[in-house]
Homo-oligomer: A and B are copies of this chain.
Amino acid sequence: MTRRRQVAAQTIQEQTYQALRRAILDGEFVPGRAMTIRGIAEDLDISPTPVREALRRLVAERALTLSGTGRVSVPVMDREKLADLVKARICLEKQAAMDAVPGITAAELRRLVRLNDAIDGAIAAGNQRRYLVTHRDFHFSLYRLGGGGVFLPLIESVWLQFSPFLRYTLSQEHLAQYNASDRHVEIIAAAEARDANALGFAVEADIRHGLGALVESDWSAHAAEGDVVAAP
């Protein structure tokens, strides 16, 4: 594999970044627990340089946080931050959904329906990781339909910030409660109707009902820092 950027070939740095990003989004790193450059490099069987650069990127995107001594970890969640992430999601994702309306096709609608079915399946199976992946895919399939240059990176940064926390916080009860009132169906209906206002409101309601409900709910300090017992 050459080192240059070609359509299929990617730099080691980019591959490392994507692997770490995916792992963070899927909640594979315990919040608060430091990772080491050399540890990741050994895991991936590469030199530390691309790891360093990938970590820099993820810190810049707020997926990771840098300690006073240069150590890197997934940040621990707190209630104020969670409330801010909900607000950020609402303003950004509402706008992104509305901007997506001109790009909605029948194929995209079918995709959304399929993904929502997959979300239901993940919840029924109690599979948190699959829930995170399909849920994320559902939302981003919609937002990607608008212009992707400005809003998508902002939204991605926000998702990087709350997803690890979700992995350790969402109980079966939360998921069932969330799914009992399926706002995704409303999102799909508004998208089908190409009604930007209804779509914006449906996305906002989904966020408030989902992540927003966690702001006031009871999650232990351990869940915020990653419940070691519950870790896979």
Contact = CB atoms under 8 A, between A and B. Distances in A.
Contacts of A56: 53, 56-57, 60
B53 A151 contact: no
A61 interface: yes
A68 B10 CA distance: 10
B81 A150 contact: yes
Interface stretch (A83-91, A131-139, A174-182): A83-91
Given A53-B56, A60-B60, A154-B158, A91 B80 contact: no
Contacts of A87: 95, 99, 150-151
Majority secondary structure, A binding face? helix
A59 interface: yes
Interface string A35-60: 00000000000000000110011111
A173 B153 CA distance: 33
Contacts of A62: 150, 153
B150 A161 contact: yes
Contacts of A52: 53
Interface in A61-96: 61-62, 68-70, 80-81, 84-85, 87-88, 91-92, 94-95
A63 to B, nearest CB: 10
Nearest to A69: B5
A232 interface: no
A172 interface: no
A157 interface: yes
Nearest to A80: B147
**Residue of A58, A70, A80, A91 with most chain B CB atoms under a 10 A cut-off:** A91
B5 A68 contact: yes
Contacts of A70: 4-5, 11
A175 B69 CA distance: 44
A61 B91 CA distance: 19
A153 B161 CA distance: 12
Given A53-B53, A57-B56, A60-B56, A91 B84 contact: no
Contacts of A69: 4-5
Given A4-B69, A70-B5, A88 B57 contact: no
The 6 nearest A-B residue pairs measured at CB: A91-B91, A60-B60, A84-B150, A57-B60, A56-B56, A53-B56
